[in-house]
């Protein structure tokens, strides 16, 4: 397995547009996490899934954000009506249960103009 | 709310010197992670510390965990330029809660 993958790696969009990111976790990992990282800061938790169930959402995840993991494999994160403040690196991570470490994907860098 | 604080936030070292980065967290956690991040890149796992008193070493880096003091340290021995990066500690009730990161620059 080649690790966690994310697509696209870079996205530039105009304010008000919708964007969708995809994350493919390591195949046997049942937990999938989304984090957001702005410049000079540590990653901040957004949401996580165990299999297809979304178990926790951060207050950072406004109504414009939605995440899915329909078959317990890949996940998508959609941002509607993007704002300039959404510009960040969006990181996906996966793990096998809670005990094991999370492996991070390369991230999707979003720039909202 | 769980808080994770790193100290220092910026560290400029000379090659060959030793230094320690500190990570304090506010509530009980028996697992702590250290990650490295190069500019524009994702996070690379360095250490997973699973119990009180755990110590792990990899090359010039050594990490330790004191769950009673809610403190982890990342010690750098005889620094080399290749270690220049941002280092994050993170604790995990369920999701990872990261510190602010320590940007380490090693000068020749």
Give B22-37 pLDDT, tens digit per residue. Answer: 999 998 776 899 999 9
DSSP per residue, B42-79: -EEEEEEE-STT-EEEETTEEEEEETTTTEEEEEE-S-
Evaluated on CA atoms B51, B55, B57, B62, the torsion sign reads positive
Do A67 and A78 meet the contact criterion of CB atoms below 8 Å apart?
yes
CA A85 to chain CA mean position, Å: 16
pLDDT at site A28:
86
Listed as ranges, residues in chain A with pLDDT below 70 are 1, 98-99
Q: Which of B96, B97, B102 to probe the A interface (max A CBs under 10 A)? A: B96
pLDDT at site A1:
54
What are the structure tokens assigned to B63, written together? 């990490």
Residue B88, pLDDT above cutoff 60: yes
CA–CA distance, B66 with B24 (Å, rounded to integer): 10
Contact call for A44 and B45, based on CB within 8 A = no
Q: What is the mean pLDDT of chain A?
A: 92
Contact call for A48 and B94, based on CB within 8 A = yes
A54-113 residues touching B, CB cutoff 8 A? 55-56, 91, 93, 98-99, 101-107, 109
Domain range B4-107, its CATH number among 2.60.40.10, 3.30.365.10, 1.10.10.10, 1.10.530.10: 2.60.40.10
Residues B47-62 as b or e (16 or more Cβ within 10 Å = b): bbbeeeebeeeeeebb
CA B100 to chain CA mean position, Å: 11
DSSP A102: P
């Amino acid at each position: 397995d080649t690790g966690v993958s994310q697509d696209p790696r870079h996205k530039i969009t105009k304010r008000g547009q919708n964007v969708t990111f995809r994350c493919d976790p390591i195949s046997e990992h049942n937990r999938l996490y989304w984090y957001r990282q702005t410049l000079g800061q540590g990653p901040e938790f957004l949401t996580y899934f165990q299999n297809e169930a979304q178990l926790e959402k951060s207050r950072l995840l406004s109504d414009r954000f939605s995440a899915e993991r329909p078959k317990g494999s890949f996940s998508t994160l959609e941002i509607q009506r993007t704002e300039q403040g959404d510009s960040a690196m969006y990181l996906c991570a996966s793990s096998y249960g809670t005990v094991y470490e999370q492996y991070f994907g390369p991230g999707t860098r979003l720039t909202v103009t | 709310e769980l808080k994770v604080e790193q100290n220092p936030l910026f560290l400029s070292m000379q090659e060959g010197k030793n230094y320690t980065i500190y990570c304090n967290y506010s509530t009980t956690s028996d697992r702590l992670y250290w990650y490295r991040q190069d500019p524009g890149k994702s996070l690379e796992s360095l250490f997973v510390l699973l119990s009180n008193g755990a110590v792990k070493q990899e090359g010039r880096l050594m990490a330790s965990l004191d769950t009673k003091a809610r403190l982890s340290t990342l010690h750098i021995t005889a620094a080399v330029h290749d270690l220049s990066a941002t280092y994050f500690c993170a604790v995990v009730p369920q999701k990872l809660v990261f510190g602010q990161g320590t940007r380490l620059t090693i000068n020749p």
